[in-house]
Amino acid sequence: MRAGALGWDRSRMRKYVIMGVQGSGKGTQCTLMRHDLELTHISVGDILRWHVQQHTKIGALVRRTMAAGELVGDDLVESIVRDRLAQHDWNYGFLIDGFPRNVRQAGFFLESYDIDGVIHLDLPDEEVQKRVLSRRLCAACGMDYNLISDRPEVEGKCDVCGGRLVTRDDDTPEALAARLRDYYGKTEPVLELFRRKEYVLTVDARPDPATVQKAIRAGLNLPAYAA
Ligand code: AMP
């Protein structure tokens, strides 16, 4: 990491990108990071899923592509990111998850925003399959569960809101294979580009979420995580 990225100063705005293969725990780590650090979590996948659920025009455009595990067009994704960041509700900074996913998106992003660091969650392929295929999501509030490591108290029901737990349309073996292909073919080069700029903190994503969160905070010199 660059020396300038170190040290926690509440008055300074932070901008982080979180990257990692599907199932590496990006969403979970963002949740653990955002509250006390007051970072705004921006997940491009969540925004797109909202459009699909609400049957918007954008939802109709992306539904099939997403269900197949393929990447949505760059123009559309870039305009979503531009509009989301233009809301300026990120007074203390943001954590962007699921973007950039290819070199073109990275160019677009770096033209407009300087970043403090890239958190790379590293997970071996054999773990990815196991985690993704056991992932469940609350259809009502979006809370994530995992049938191996983070089971709901009552089977099929969200602990928080009682909503029904469903499988993401793109958490099938076929869609996962497509997403892994895109990750290694298109997203890994982005990581290389960020590495050359010395932005990247790579963290082992295999341990439990709290351990991973502690490693992220230690690596970025952020205030310690209190579970
Ligand atoms: P995620 O929740 O990040 O796994 O994203 C779910 C799906 O949304 C992906 O499989 C893509 O279809 C789409 N998506 C999310 N982010 C992007 C992006 N930056 N570029 C293109 N498609 C994206």
Token couple for 85: 């960041």
Average pLDDT of adjacent 10-residue blocks, the chain of 227 residues = 52 90 92 90 94 96 93 96 93 93 95 92 91 92 88 95 92 90 94 92 96 96 88
Angstrom CA distances, 96 to 19, 114, 152, stand at: 9, 13, 27
Relative orientation angle of helices 103-112 and 188-196, to the nearest 10 degrees: 40
With a 6 A CB cut-off, is 69 part of the ligand 1 pocket? yes
Q: What is the pLDDT of residue 2?
A: 47
Closest CA to 85 of 103, 109, 56: 109
Q: Any idea where the domains of the chain sit in the sequence?
A: 14-125+200-219
Report how far ligand 1's centroid is from the alpha carbon of 7 (Å). 32
Please tell me whether 71 is known to bind a ligand: yes
Q: What is the pLDDT of residue 7?
A: 54
Q: Which numeric CATH code is attached to 14-125+200-219?
A: 3.40.50.300
Residue whose tokens read 């770096």: 110
State the Cα–Cα distance between residues 27 and 20, nearest whole angstrom.
10
Q: What is the pLDDT of residue 47?
A: 96
- Residue in 66, 174, 176 to alter for ligand 1 test, most ligand atoms within 8 A of Cβ: 66
The b-or-e profile of 181-200 (16+ CB within 10 A means b, else e) is ebbeebbeebbebbeeeebb
Q: What is the pLDDT of residue 226?
A: 84
Q: What is the pLDDT of residue 148?
A: 86
Report how far ligand 1's centroid is from the alpha carbon of 71 (Å). 6
